[in-house]
Structures are given as structure tokens and as C-alpha cells.
Chains A and B, each alone.
Chain A
Amino acid sequence: MNEQDKSGQEKMGKQIIKASELDPKFKYEITQMHGGEKLLMCFQCGTCTSDCPVARYSDSYRPRQLIRMTQLGLKERILKSETLWLCAACFTCTDRCPQGVKVADVIRILKNLAIKEGYVPPVFKELASSILDNGYAYRIPELRIKKREQIGLPPLPKGNPESLAKILHGIELKKLLEKRGE
């Protein structure tokens, strides 16, 4: 398959691993988090990668590899990789893992950590700011809202930004998203 992806599609696992890159505590950080508990159970059978729809068409996205790199503690390399964001969260890997590793959850944890380190794909900034502003992940155009009436649909339920701000207090989401060096 001809890989045309410009970025992050570096072959993460095909580089020399230096001992200084390994963070032996990283795996325990992950097993502490919800969904990451069984990370160490992975014995690298490769069911996840062979059943992954995205891996079929990507030369770089390999869930098995991400799991192994997490076990090894290649933290920096994982978190800055754009490949991480190719997971579709279809949960096929999680459902089929013979060892009960919640592969998609581990990858979600890695994404959350990548955000904390300031690696934020732009699309998430848009989605988050729309949710905080009006409750909906997209900014629904006035025209659409008017059209609802015309075709006999009831008015859309309203968002409540004040309430959202209150309950999300302490998540510091805005700070997370601002870190993107822009």
C-alpha cells in the first residue's frame, strides 16, 4: 500500500531504541488508570493489529506496536506521534483480545496524556470550544435551525454553557488546549 500520509507516519517501531529513552515507570502509570489495568497481560499475539480496519490502510498505525512501546516505556516517542490519532475507537481490538487487554482504552489513555504534553490535533480544539460555547460539538447554522421548523421538527433543546462551566471546573480543559504552541 502506498503510504501518502505526510506526517507522523514515521515508522515508529523501526528505529533503534536507546536505553535512555525508556521510562520503566510509564507502564505502571497506565495500569493505574481506568481501562489500562491489563496492559501487562499483552503477550504480543497481534490479534489487535490483524483485525484493525485502520491498520489495513496505514503503513504506520499498529495497535500491537503501541501496546509494546507502552510496556517498554517509550513515552516520548508515543506521545508525540501523530500515528496515535489514527485509532478509530471501533473497539474491535478490545473485543477480540484473548488476554482481555482493553487496547482501545489504552490508546485513549495515551491520547489523553499526549494532550497533557501539548500535542493537540486541531480538530479537537474546534469540537471542544463549540461544546463549551453552546453544548453541541458542531456550530449548527441558523439556516439549519430554521429549516427544522419548515419540515415540522420541534425546536432543538438548548445547551447550558454556564452549567457546563460549573461542572467542568477543575478539568482545566482550556489550559490543556491552549498548550498547542500556537
Chain B
Amino acid sequence: MAETQGEIKYLIFLGCAIPYRVSAYELSTRKVMEKLGVKLEEMPEFNCCGVPMDPISHEMMLLLAARNLCMAERKGLNIMALCPGCTGALKKVNTMLKNDKNLREEINKHLKEDGLEFKGTIDVKHLIQVLNEDVGLEKIKTLVKKPLKGIKVAEHNGCHVLRPKEYMGFDDPEDPKILKTLIEVTGAECLDYMDESQCCGAPVAGVNDRIPLQLTKEKLAHIRDVGAQALITICPFCHMMFDTNQIRIERMFNEKFGIPTLHYPQLLGLALGMPPEELGFRELRVKPTELLKQLGFQGS
């Protein structure tokens, strides 16, 4: 119901981490979607998806997610989220409330306090799902102007775009394929590496500063060992672990990685013929200088 005659239109759900620290992900997503003909509208009002509150109060998580779903229902548009955490919460709560009448009634009692009601009329997708299912690989392929031939990268999906399988289910968490396929459409090669779908540790960072860095370090080592020139992520938190924290990790463990970490839409943007400046490359901490040079971009 949210689509009219082939036009792809979504409400873009930014979440909290992206506007706080990871604008390049948002910027590159908007640029790429425009090029691909996907129309994006802004959320009329915003509140946190609920995920960070789940450990405190499950009920609060349900209500925060449900309120966002109501906003989208009012607009009559499906949600496209960039952050896997937001995607997970919104998808899960949407499914729970659609299927569980008792829970829906309970949540609606609260929502009614501000004249809202969950009806169950919209869907929630992650960016890579929209690219894969709505835009489609064929269309992307035809728009690739500058195939990234000879570039070798690795991918890191992030847990919440894949798990729990019961609610996510659009890709196999034990052997995820969608992001890999989307990378290969750009012409770049996507390498396999050890423990590919393992967590980066970011969710623990609020209560422990050692374990997350060890987990990310282990992943960086595996990625370096297969000779990847860059890592591709689709999560603001994973990106902060791999990019923002990489220099800290190098110092802490006295090891050199130097692995630039790109948001997937940045990689796709290059293949669609956009220059790095338009895609927020300047925001990256670990500079992909060599990679860009190999692709014929100078001084970025």
C-alpha cells in the first residue's frame, strides 16, 4: 500500500548514533538513493527506537518502537532504517504487535494517552534490504558507471541485521549473502575471512572498555590476514568500532592494521560514478588513500 506505480518511497529512520557521530553514512545513503530513484521522506517526529532501553525496561522498549511505527502509519509509508539496531527493534516490535493481540491491546492502552494507536499497516526494512529487494541488483548493475575492478574488500554485517533469525530472517545469519552480493555488484571482490559474522563488541562498550576492543582487534587481524584493502560496514556502531577506534586499538595492542572502513553506500557511490568528496569520505579516520588512488581519485 505504501508504493504507488513502481515508485519506491520510504521514511528514512536515522536513529540516534548516526546524527550524533556518523553523518557520512547518512550522507552517502541519501546521495546513492537519489541516484537509484528511491524517494526518502523524513520522520514527522522522532524518538529512539527503544533498543538501548531494552536492558532497563522491556516495556519501555516496546513503547518507544511502537510510537515510531505509529508515526510511520500516519504517514502511510514503510520505514527504511540505516542502523541494524533500529531495524531490529522496529521489525521485531512490528511483528510482535501484529501477531499478538493481547500485547497489542496492552501497548495501545499506553499509546492512547497521546491519541496514538498501532494498527499494523506498515513494514520495516534495512537499507540493504531495500537495495536488494526493491531496487534490485539488475537495476544497480545498469547504473554502475565505474566498476571497482581490482579492489579487494571484506564485509561485516553486524549482528542485529541478521539476528535473532526469528524476527530478521531475510538473510542467513550463519552465512550471510546479501551484503556480499551488493558489494560484488560494484565490481569489487568480497573476500571471506575467519569468524565473519562475529560481533564487534560495540554493545558492551558502555559497561566494559576492554572486551569490545579485543573483539574488534581480533576481527581486524582476520581481515588483514586475507589481504582486504578495506572493510565494508552497514552499522554506525560497528563503524565506530572499526574506524573511530582503530588507532586506539593499534596503540593498545601494539599492532598495525591500517584498514579503512567504508559505509556500504560510500563504496556503491564510487561505483555509481560519484566523487569521494560527495560521499563523506573526509569523515573517515583511517584514510582510504591507497584505495582511492588505485581507483584514480587523487588528493581525497
Contacts and interface: CB of A to CB of B under 8 A. Distances in A.
A171 B204 contact: no
Contact of B54 (A92, A108, A148, A173): A108
A160 interface: yes
Contacts of B45: 135, 157-160, 163
A124 interface: yes
A76 B208 CA distance: 22
Interface of A: 4-5, 34-35, 53-54, 56-58, 82, 85-92, 94-95, 102, 104, 108-109, 111-112, 115, 120-121, 123-124, 127-128, 131, 135-138, 140, 144, 147-148, 151-160, 163-164, 166-171, 173, 176-177
B126 to A, nearest CB: 15
B53 interface: yes
A144 B18 CA distance: 11
A123 B57 contact: no
B199 interface: yes
Given A54-B204, A157-B43, A124 B63 contact: no
Contacts of B207: 82, 85-86, 121, 123
Contacts of B203: 88-90
Contacts of A140: 16, 19-20
Given A57-B214, A124-B55, A144 B20 contact: yes
A146 B14 CA distance: 17
A109 B114 CA distance: 28
Contact of B47 (A108, A115, A164, A169): A164
A128 B110 contact: no
Contact of A57 (B14, B47, B114, B215): B215
B30 A153 contact: yes
Contacts of B210: 4-5, 57
Given A90-B163, A171-B59, A153 B206 contact: no
B119 to A, nearest CB: 16
| Of B26, B43, B165, B206, most A-chain CB atoms within 10 Å | B206
A33 to B, nearest CB: 8
Given A127-B52, A157-B14, 19 more contacts: A53-B198, A57-B211, A57-B215, A85-B208, A89-B159, A90-B160, A92-B163, A102-B164, A111-B55, A124-B56, A131-B47, A131-B52, A131-B64, A137-B16, A138-B20, A151-B27, A163-B114, A167-B110, A173-B56
A113 to B, nearest CB: 11
A94 B163 contact: yes
B173 interface: yes
B54 to A, nearest CB: 6
B63 A104 contact: no
Interface residues of B, number: 54
14 contacts: A34-B103, A54-B199, A88-B202, A91-B163, A115-B57, A121-B206, A124-B55, A131-B52, A136-B48, A137-B48, A138-B16, A157-B45, A169-B110, A176-B57
Contact of A135 (B46, B53, B113): B46
A88 B16 contact: no
Contacts of B291: none
Nearest to B207: A85
Contacts of B198: 53
Interface of B: 14, 16-17, 19-20, 23, 26-27, 30, 42-48, 52-60, 63-64, 67, 103, 110-111, 113-114, 116, 159-160, 163-165, 173, 198-199, 201-204, 206-208, 210-211, 214-215, 280
A166 B115 CA distance: 10
A155 B14 CA distance: 12
Contacts of B215: 53-54, 56-57
Given A53-B198, A167-B67, A167-B113, A151 B56 contact: no
Nearest to A115: B56
Given A5-B208, A136-B20, A158-B45, A176 B113 contact: no
A61 to B, nearest CB: 8
B57 A131 contact: no
B16 A104 contact: no
Contacts of B17: 137-138
A86 B203 CA distance: 9
List the 7 closest A-B pairs by CB distance, nearest first: A91-B163, A123-B206, A157-B46, A90-B199, A90-B159, A135-B47, A137-B16
